Amino acid sequence: MKHIPTLTHAARIFFCILTASMALAGCQIGKHYTRPQLELPTTLADSMSTDSASVADYSWRQLYADTLLQALIQRTLEYNKDILMAAARVRELAAQKRIDWANMLPQVGLRAHAEYDRDNYGGNNYSMDDQFDIKGTVSWELDLWGKLRWTHDASTAEFLGSIENQRALQMSLIAEVAQAYFELVALDNELAIVRQTVDARRESLHLARIRYEGGLTSEVAFRQAQVELARTATLVPDLERQVTLKENELAYLTGEYPHSIRRATLPHDISFPQSLPVGMPSTLLERRPDVREAEQALIAANAEVGAALTSMFPNITLTAQFGAESDILGELLQSPYKFISGTLIQPIFGWGKNRARLKAKRAAFERATYAYEKAVLSAFRDAYDAIAEFNKLKEIYSTRLSLEQSSRSTLELAQLQYVNGAIGYMDLLDAQRTYLDAQIGVSNALRDRQLALVNLYKALGGGWQ
């Protein structure tokens, strides 16, 4: 009499096959990722300092002490729509990574089926063909060549890349808010300078009218004073327009509708250290999240090459079903059922589709390599530009401050000489114009020094901790 395997015996056979298959599934065919060789510069600054400390190690709260600016940055990090979209993208790819991880494991399910079937062919052949079954199912695609693991590696790299993208976005938004805030403060200061100048022009026009009516000067000087007042007054609405647009920009960054922005005033002087630590070249690659995002994209592209390569090998799937099956519901639990199968699918001829897919993934990996190298080059260019700008703007501010102080003294002397009749109105007008330009120049230099610090902090990868 032929021996019929019991459920326990069949299950033991299946799990022995699973164990043997898991032992064989240690091979992952394909080239594993290695970081491209990069010839990095020896230093990030003109000096030969090898200090590993960097201003990028400071938190943005340490760097930006203005509490009003801190509040704007905090609101941006909480409510900015790009930040919220990036966070949602991280959650999406985290779930996708979990799916690809689960695909490497056996899939277990339960199937319950009831079928009520009656037929009567010819009218005299009534028959019943009912069926009831309840089965547990186990299905597992053996990852002998590493295709599923390559797919999981790719989704993991994409997930990590989305985190770096979120960090890079945070770094950029902090810089954008700080830049817009400092520009708004500078516009306020420039508007105040222009309004003061308009008031001074009115006084000059009043004085010119008195001298003209007293016969001390010609009508030309009086008319020129009118022109100069009108010319200066035209600057006011344009600056007010720029202030409103800058406020709207900050409101948009913070995820709010346009409204007035609270801000401080531009200080008369800003104390910056003579030099700031910039760190080592190699640490720039670790601090810059955009560079790390590009590397994760490269890792994902390498994994997709491995997945395309292993797709050309056979797919082996094991399937098992254990349960009960009967055509009478009352006898269901007395009718054991077992089924074990293995399926091998080997692509033989697909018109070159699989090879073309492999070539496409290799080309995509090559493109990702160039993109990573470009990101590194861009990071170093940003850092070198920011360092040079920060260092040079100290000299620019010093020279503009000296010009402003000299032009103010010249204007005071010119006003005294004009009242005493020693010089003409045109000479006074030149002194007034020079002083106005010098005031605006100092204001812009202060703004540029603040922006230089913002750019240096961002270029070195600070702000996302």
Which DSSP string corresponds to 266-334? PPS-----S---B--HHHHHHH-HHHHHHHHHHHHHHHHHHHHHHTTSPEEEEEEEEEEEESSGGGGGG
**Model pTM?**
0.85
**CB-based contacts of 165, cutoff 8 Å, min separation 6:** 86, 89, 289, 293
Helix, strand, or coil (residue 39): coil
CATH topology of domain 28-109+144-311+355-459: Outer membrane efflux proteins (OEP) (1.20.1600)
- What's the confidence (pLDDT) of residue 232? 94
- What's the confidence (pLDDT) of residue 48? 47
Each residue's pLDDT tens digit, 55-112: 899 999 999 999 999 999 999 999 999 999 999 999 999 999 999 999 988 999 998 8
How far apart, in whole angstroms, are the C-alpha atoms of residue 128 and residue 328?
11
β-bridge pairing 131-142 and 118-120? unpaired
C-alpha of 182 from chain center? 22
Burial class from Cβ neighbours inside 10 Å (0-12, 13-18, 19+) for residue 425 reads buried
Of 324 and 269, the structure prediction assigns the larger pLDDT to: 324
Query: Where do the structural domains in the chain lie, given as residue ranges?
Result: 28-109+144-311+355-459
**CB-based contacts of 461, cutoff 8 Å, min separation 6:** 56, 171, 284, 286, 287, 288, 289, 379
Each residue's pLDDT tens digit, 185-240: 999 999 999 999 999 999 988 888 888 888 888 888 889 989 999 999 999 999 99
Q: Average pLDDT of the chain?
A: 88
How far apart, in whole angstroms, are the C-alpha atoms of residue 263 and residue 327?
81
> Mean pLDDT, to the nearest integer, of 242-269?
94
Confidence class of residue 40 from pLDDT cuts 50, 70 and 90?
Answer: confident
Least confident of 14-23, 60-69, 196-205, 412-421: 14-23
Instruction: Indicate the residue type of 272.
Output: F
C-alpha of 453 from chain center? 20
Q: Is 60 exceeded by the pLDDT of residue 465?
A: yes
* CA-based nearest residue to 54, from 278, 382, 272: 278
- What's the confidence (pLDDT) of residue 335? 82
> Mean pLDDT, to the nearest integer, of 129-135?
83
Least confident of 8-12, 29-33, 179-183, 348-352: 8-12
Q: Is 60 exceeded by the pLDDT of residue 411?
A: yes
Which helix (H) or strand (E) segment holds residue 132: the answer is strand 131-142
How far apart, in whole angstroms, are the C-alpha atoms of residue 145 and residue 211?
98
C-alpha of 244 from chain center? 27
